[in-house]
């Protein structure tokens, strides 16, 4: 009789075994996947809202001002010689804030 009670107490519920795994997936989602999705949305929004006169930094480290916009390409004016470069829109990594704006 005591053996049967002991065995009944030792059998874990199969759902309880999945709780730590589900908890790990939830932590990964909130710490990794959700911030990456937000960052990707913000990057796409920034690329969509580019306009002439914006100062940008490309992924290659080139700093320039947009002088012309096509569907998938931009023409940047790079100082000091006012050299014009054509780059892919997706190469823009960030906007450089204007010095007058805060």
Tens digit of each residue's pLDDT (9 = 90 or more) over 12-41? 667 777 888 999 999 999 999 999 999 999
How do the residues of the chain divide into helix, strand and coil, expressed in percent and rounded to 5?
45, 25, 25
pTM (global) more than 0.75: no
* Domain assignment of residue 63, yes or no: yes
* Domain assignment of residue 83, yes or no: yes
Do 61 and 40 share a domain, yes or no?
Answer: no
Please state, in angstroms and rounded to a whole number, the distance separating the CA atoms of residues 27 and 25: 5
With b for 16 or more beta-carbon neighbours within 10 A and e for fewer, the 2-41 pattern comes to eeeeeeeeeeeeeeeeeeeeeeeeeeeeeeeeeeeeeeee
- For residue 83, what are the domain limits? 51-95
* Domain assignment of residue 101, yes or no: no
Do 83 and 69 share a domain, yes or no?
Answer: yes
Do 68 and 85 share a domain, yes or no?
Answer: yes
Q: Extract long-range pairs of 19-22: CB within 8 Å, 24+ residues apart.
A: none
Please state, in angstroms and rounded to a whole number, the distance separating the CA atoms of residues 45 and 95: 12
Q: What is the domain count for the chain?
A: 2
* Domain assignment of residue 25, yes or no: yes
* Domain assignment of residue 62, yes or no: yes
Give the rounded percent of residues in the chain with a pLDDT score beyond 90: 73
* Domain assignment of residue 100, yes or no: no
């Amino acid at each position: 009789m005591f053996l049967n009670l002991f065995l009944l107490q030792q059998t874990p519920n199969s759902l309880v075994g999945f709780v730590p795994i589900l908890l790990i997936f939830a932590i990964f989602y909130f710490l990794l996947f959700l911030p990456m999705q937000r960052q990707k949305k913000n990057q796409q929004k920034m690329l969509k809202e580019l306009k002439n006169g914006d100062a940008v930094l490309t992924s290659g480290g080139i700093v320039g001002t947009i002088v012309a916009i096509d569907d998938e390409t931009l023409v940047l004016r790079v100082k000091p010689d006012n050299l014009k470069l054509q780059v892919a829109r997706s190469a823009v990594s960030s906007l450089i804030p204007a010095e007058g704006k805060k």
